[in-house]
C-alpha cells in the first residue's frame, strides 16, 4: 500500500518541477517582469493588462490593510479576532474540520481492508485491492463535488454529505451487529480436520474454543471459517 501511494507522489514531484511561482507573489516581491511572463502563458494577449491592473490594485490594498492591522504577529492576531467576519469564518472552518473527523469516515477508510475481510474475503491482497475501489470512488466524488460546488454552494453539499454519512455509518453499525450476533459457532471437528498446518493457531491456543464463531475467526485473520453453518 505504501508503494502504491508513492507512485502519484512521484508524479506530483515531477510536475511540481515545471510549476511556476504565483504571478501575484512575484508582483508582490517587486518582480513585475517575471510576473508578466507567467501571465502571458496563462491568459490571452488582450487580457494581460487587465489582470496586471487588477493584481496591482489587490496588492496595494493588501499592503494598506497590513499597515492598518500591524506588523507583528500579536498585532495581526488581535486585529483578526476583533473582526466579526474573520471570527465567524474561523469558527465555521474549525467546526467543519472537527465534524469531518468525528463523522467516522476516516475510520471507515483506514479499516476498509479489515471491513472487506469481515465480509468474508479472507485474502489480504484481495481486501487491499478492493479497498482501492473505495479510494477511487472517493477521488471521483471529490472531483464531482468540485464541479458542483459553485452551482449548489458549499453549505448545501456539506449538509447532504453529512446526511449520507450518517445513513452509511448507521448501516455499517447494523451490519456489524447482525454479523456478530448471527455468526455461526465454530465446528471443532471440521476445524481440526484441516490439519495443524492449515488450522488457525490462535484457535488451537485458545482456552475456550467453544465460544468461537466465524466473526472471531476473521478477527484472528485465520483465512477460513470451519463451520457447517452459513456465513
pLDDT digits (tens, 9 = 90+) for 139-171: 888 888 888 888 888 888 888 888 888 888 888
Grid cell 464531482 in the structure block, residue? 144
Average pLDDT of the segment spanning 188-203 = 63
> What CA–CA distance (Å, rounded) separates 85 from 82?
9
Angle of CA points 164, 165, 166, to nearest 5°: 90
Instruction: State the cell numbers at 72.
Output: 507583528
Encode pLDDT of 91-118 as tens digits: 888 888 888 778 777 777 888 877 777 6
Q: Which residue has the higher pLDDT, 16 or 217?
A: 16
Question: Residue 217 pLDDT more than 70?
Answer: no
Question: Residue 190 pLDDT more than 70?
Answer: no
Average confidence score pLDDT of the chain: 77
Q: What is the pTM of this model?
A: 0.52
**In angstroms, what CA-CA distances link 113 with 89, 122, 126, 165, 221?**
37, 10, 9, 19, 12
Give me the sign of the Cα torsion angle 100, 101, 103, 105.
positive
Give me the sign of the Cα torsion angle 161, 163, 166, 170.
negative
For the ranges 18-32, 138-152, 202-216, the lowest mean pLDDT is seen at 202-216
- The residue among 113, 153, 152, 106 whose CA lies nearest residue 131 is 113
The predicted pLDDT at position 122 comes to 60
Distance of CA 176 to the CA centre of its chain: 23
The predicted pLDDT at position 197 comes to 47
Strand partners, 185: 213
The predicted pLDDT at position 138 comes to 83
Strand partners, 213: 185
Amino acid at each position: 500500500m505504501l508503494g502504491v501511494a508513492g507512485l502519484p507522489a512521484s508524479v506530483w514531484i515531477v510536475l511540481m518541477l515545471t510549476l511556476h511561482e504565483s504571478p501575484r507573489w512575484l508582483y508582490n516581491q517587486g518582480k513585475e517582469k517575471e510576473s508578466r511572463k507567467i501571465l502571458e502563458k496563462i491568459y490571452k494577449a488582450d487580457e494581460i493588462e487587465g489582470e496586471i491592473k487588477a493584481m496591482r490594485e489587490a496588492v496595494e490594498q493588501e499592503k494598506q490593510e497590513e499597515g492598518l492591522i500591524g506588523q507583528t504577529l500579536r498585532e495581526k492576531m488581535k486585529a483578526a479576532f476583533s473582526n466579526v467576519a474573520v471570527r465567524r469564518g474561523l469558527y465555521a472552518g474549525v467546526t467543519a474540520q472537527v465534524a469531518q473527523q468525528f463523522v467516522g469516515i476516516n475510520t471507515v477508510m483506514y479499516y476498509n481492508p479489515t471491513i472487506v475481510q469481515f465480509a468474508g474475503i479472507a485474502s489480504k491482497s484481495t481486501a487491499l485491492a478492493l479497498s482501492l475501489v473505495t479510494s477511487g470512488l472517493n477521488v471521483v466524488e471529490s472531483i464531482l463535488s468540485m464541479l458542483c460546488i459553485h452551482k449548489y454552494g458549499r453549505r448545501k453539499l456539506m449538509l447532504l454529505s453529512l446526511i449520507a454519512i450518517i445513513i452509511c455509518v448507521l448501516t455499517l453499525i447494523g451490519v456489524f451487529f447482525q454479523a456478530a450476533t448471527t455468526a455461526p459457532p465454530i465446528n471443532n471437528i471440521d476445524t481440526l480436520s484441516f490439519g495443524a498446518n492449515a488450522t488457525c493457531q490462535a484457535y488451537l491456543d485458545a482456552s475456550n474454543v467453544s465460544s468461537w464463531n466465524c466473526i472471531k475467526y476473521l478477527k484472528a485473520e485465520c483465512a477460513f471459517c470451519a463451520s457447517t453453518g452459513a456465513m
